[in-house]
Amino acid sequence: MAHDVHTPTRSHTEYEYLRRQRSKEMRSQLTSFAIMIFLTLIAFTTVSAGFSPYLIVPIILLLAAIQVVLQLYHFMHLSNKGHGTVAFFMFSGMFVAFITVLTFVTIVWW
């Protein structure tokens, strides 16, 4: 059965293709890094500008959620092929957890 050692040899075209893919990935990582820095700046600015906490808290939570998604997709390779099932289960789990927390926050404790 398939226990033999397999040594990959790449043709020139494959090599070129991989190169292009990797530079694309690198670009997307740098972009999302820049966006994250920017989002963090916004977060700090809203706090230091002294807005009302009722504005600051939701904004920061929203920015945090965006950052998590960027992180997952661009740094933790969730955007790569074959991660569909993982993503589906992760988001289902998050959804269930979110509904639970939402309910507790809205109708149990307040």
Footprint of other proteins (CB under 8 A):
1, 85, 89, 92-93, 95-96, 99-100, 103-104, 106-109
Identify whether the C-beta of residue 46 lies closer than 8 Å to the C-beta of residue 55: yes
Q: What angle do CA 38, 42, 47 make, to 5 degrees?
A: 150
Nearest to 66 by CA among 15, 47, 74: 74
Q: Which is nearer to other proteins, 55 or 96 (CB)?
A: 96
Cα gap 100→105, rounded to integer Å: 9
Residues 6+ apart with CB under 8 A from 73: 32, 79
Smallest separation, CB 75 to other proteins (Å): 24
Residue 108 is given by DSSP the state: I
Smallest separation, CB 1 to other proteins (Å): 5
Smallest separation, CB 48 to other proteins (Å): 36
Q: Which is nearer to other proteins, 62 or 102 (CB)?
A: 102
Q: Which is nearer to other proteins, 49 or 108 (CB)?
A: 108
Smallest separation, CB 107 to other proteins (Å): 5
Q: Which is nearer to other proteins, 31 or 100 (CB)?
A: 100
